[in-house]
Amino acid sequence: MDLFFNWAFIVEASVKIISMGFIMDYNSYLRDSWNQLDFIIVSFSIVEMVLTALGGGGDLSFMRILRMLRILRPLRMVSRYPALRMLIVALFGSLGSIVNVLLVVVVVFYVFAIFGVSQMGAQFNYCSIDPYLLHTRIECELAGGAWEVHTHNFDTSPKGFVTLYVVASLEGWPDIYVQAMEKVEKFKGPSQEDPSRVFAMIFFIGFIVIGSFFFLNMFIGVLFMKFEQALKDQKKGFTKEQLDWIEIQDFIETAEPEFVTTNVPPENSPRKMFHDLVTSTAFDNIILLIIVLNMI
């Protein structure tokens, strides 16, 4: 099946190279960045096929790397939708801002982790048997139990950071919250009648509001801002009247059959035949179907 997909993509690239030219002309195949991605994927597929045909399984690590490059194939679908292209451009353009937001989030998480260690350090211990009656290590071991500590705790700052990460994910945090509500004091087991529950409630609710809802949603805000910037860059240099005219033309284009192409067909008859094939809707639909089947 992989061989079929490889040959399908090789044929697609070959037909486009014949119809558009390879690299010298202005609108040639490799002048488009998405075609460059397609060409890289096809080239590595050819190398893999050649090595496999020659029995080149000697360097298994190199073959694994070539096979791992198949994960780039779904990106071919992006090249066929301008809206997806813009989204990818916005995503890569926001990496620097995302790193800055991530650093702020890490600092906030560590501030809460240090505060949690100072107030709840060494307080997540329990006895493996009857934890609400056996409150100390000695009582627990005399009764034949094991003195343990909960997986998520605030014994150290790194452990507190991991605990807060679980809480921020909002998955499984109620168990941690209950354990904090039942804490008593250092090196003591849990109690269901401890008056210090107010602190745990304020701590976890405050962290979820500040560390999860606010700071983590800043990632979405950064992506949205970069997407808006990408839209503005696309419309840069146009007046309002020109943008209105473009919008009207887009409406007309969607209401009428698609134009064949803005490229001038080659004068050479064989190349013109391939040009008509590449610019046809049926060709795009077949390639898109092959990409989807390959992803499945």
Same domain, residue pair 132 and 28: no
Q: Is the pLDDT of residue 16 over 80?
A: yes
Whether 86 is covered by a domain: the verdict is no
Same domain, residue pair 159 and 205: yes
For residues 220-240, give the mean pLDDT.
Answer: 73
Q: Where are the alpha helices (DSSP H) in the chain?
A: 2-20, 33-53, 60-68, 75-78, 82-93, 95-120, 137-142, 157-168, 173-181, 197-207, 217-234, 240-255, 269-278, 281-295
* CATH at residue 142: 1.10.287
Which structural domain, as residue segments, surrounds residue 25?
2-73+268-295
Same domain, residue pair 102 and 164: yes
Instruction: Determine the pLDDT at residue 114.
Output: 92
Please report, rounded to a whole number, the percentage of residues in the chain having pLDDT higher than 90: 5
Separation CA 260–CA 193 (nearest Å): 77
Same domain, residue pair 147 and 193: yes
Q: Which residues contact 200 (CB under 8 A, 6 or more apart)?
A: 120, 177, 180, 181, 183
Q: Is the pLDDT of residue 188 over 50?
A: yes
For residues 282-286, give the mean pLDDT.
Answer: 82
Q: Is the pTM of this model over 0.75?
A: no
Same domain, residue pair 189 and 114: yes
Same domain, residue pair 28 and 103: no
Same domain, residue pair 53 and 114: no
Same domain, residue pair 41 and 125: no
Q: Is the pLDDT of residue 256 over 50?
A: no
Same domain, residue pair 26 and 131: no
Which is higher by pLDDT, 190 or 197? 190
Whether 272 is covered by a domain: the verdict is yes
Domains of the chain: total:
2
Task: Indicate the range of 97-111, 150-164, 247-261 predicted with least confidence.
Answer: 247-261
**pLDDT tens for each residue of 56-105:** 555 556 666 666 766 666 666 666 666 677 777 777 777 778 888 888 88
Separation CA 173–CA 189 (nearest Å): 20
Using the 3D structure, point to which of 177, 196, 218 is the last residue of a domain.
218
